[in-house]
Amino acid sequence: MINKNLIKNIKEKLVYKKIESPVGVLTIAATDEALKLLLMNRESGLYEDDILKLRKVDSHPILDRTERQINLYFKGKLKEFDIPLAPEGTEFQKKAWQVLRTIPYGEVYYYQQQAELVGDSRKARAVGQANSMNPIAIIIPCHRVIEKNGKLTGFAGGLNVKEYLLQLEKRYR
């Protein structure tokens, strides 16, 4: 994730908590209505100053539900999240992220396929850029998009985490 103003751009009051996962500590942040952020350990450091300005909580309905579902996901017992989401982004980014949510668990799409579903197969690079700005990793599954040659590219949590998530989903498909 590259957007330096990611947290500053969110107008609502956010609360956050950190949760343990097999891929490291995840930082999740929400309003009373929806999840706004799920940051991987590697990217949390980029926003640490902004995160520390938020109110840390031990319990919150959206965050607790997210934590439960993330835990089930990593155990292979949850294939589709039903958490209310409200990611911040441009209209194009939101459209690209909505398409990501339609990619079935355990499957991968190519950037060009995602671009076609967004409405223009020539915008593969643009959807790749939108995916890189995804503020709710795992739940908005940008890890399910790969290059046409099968190569793994671009994942804020690191390519090793992308590989782990794809293997996890393949195992429990």
**Which CA distances in Å does 120 have to 35, 86, 117?**
29, 24, 7
65 CB-near residues (< 8 Å, 6+ apart): 83
Which tokens in the block code for residue 161?
């985490």
User: How many other CB atoms are there within 10 angstroms of residue 61's CB atom?
Assistant: 10
Sign of CA dihedral 44, 99, 72, 106: negative
Distance in angstroms (rounded) separating the CA atoms of residues 140 and 146:
15
Would you name the residues annotated as active-site residues? 142
